[in-house]
């Protein structure tokens, strides 16, 4: 079937539009109207008084990464290297070591994410077979004034209050799943 082309008719500019200044004044009128409505009709404005008031993030918002822990408090990550392999920004760096527990092969001695390179695609949490890395913190990446502070390591990634869903150990009552 041949593609159809929609032709949009161009309307010629009126004399007032060609004079130009009346259109500028019309634009300024809209701006001033908004200004006064936002200043004196606060109940109609959509402005959020950040940081005192914060909008809730959508349920699927990808925020600051965190690493979950097992029920015994150890890091759930088994250093399988799937997340650094799939990461399109190459911003995850892991050094693995042998785990003292023979039932667990490895664990990360170093786990670092460069938040300035991360594009928040969420592929790392989708690839993880252990539900060890998540982005459901609801926290924006915290601003810093120097680049090294954006390289977050285990000390800033491990959230002891978040337990992995994949831990097959004994269930604890009130485990904070999210």
Q: Applying CB under 6 A, which residues contact ligand SF4?
A: 77-83, 87-89, 91-92, 94, 113, 118-124, 127-128, 130, 132-133
Q: Nearest distance from residue 19's CB to ligand SF4, in Å?
A: 52
Q: Which is nearer to ligand SF4, 14 or 85 (CB)?
A: 85
Q: Which is nearer to ligand SF4, 23 or 125 (CB)?
A: 125
Q: Are strands 66-69 and 158-163 parallel, antiparallel or unpaired?
A: parallel
Q: Which is nearer to ligand SF4, 10 or 168 (CB)?
A: 168
- As a dihedral over the C-alpha atoms of residue 118, residue 121, residue 127, residue 128, rounded to 10 degrees, the angle is 60
Q: Nearest distance from residue 62's CB to ligand SF4, in Å?
A: 7
Q: Nearest distance from residue 76's CB to ligand SF4, in Å?
A: 7
Rounded Cα distance between 147 and 29, Å, is 44
Q: What six digits make up the tokens of 8?
A: 């949009």
The backbone region for 20, taken as left when phi is positive above 0, alpha when psi lies in -120 to 50, beta otherwise, is left
């Amino acid at each position: 079937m041949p593609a159809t082309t929609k032709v949009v008719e161009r309307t010629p500019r009126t004399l007032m539009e060609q004079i130009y200044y009346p259109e500028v004044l019309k634009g300024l009128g809209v701006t001033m109207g908004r200004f006064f409505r936002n200043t004196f009709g606060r109940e109609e404005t959509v402005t959020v008084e950040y940081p005192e008031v914060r909008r809730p993030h959508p349920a699927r918002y990808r925020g600051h990464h965190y690493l979950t822990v097992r029920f015994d408090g150890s890091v759930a990550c088994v250093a399988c290297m799937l997340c650094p392999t799939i990461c399109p920004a190459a911003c995850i760096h892991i050094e693995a070591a042998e785990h003292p527990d023979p039932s667990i092969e490895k664990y990360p001695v170093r786990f670092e994410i460069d938040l300035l390179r991360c594009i928040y695609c969420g592929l790392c949490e989708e690839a993880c077979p252990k539900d060890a890395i998540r982005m459901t913190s609801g926290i924006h990446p915290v601003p810093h004034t120097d680049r090294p502070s954006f390289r977050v390591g285990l000390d800033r990634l491990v959230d002891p209050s978040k337990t992995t869903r994949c831990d097959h150990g004994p269930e604890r009552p009130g485990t904070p799943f999210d």
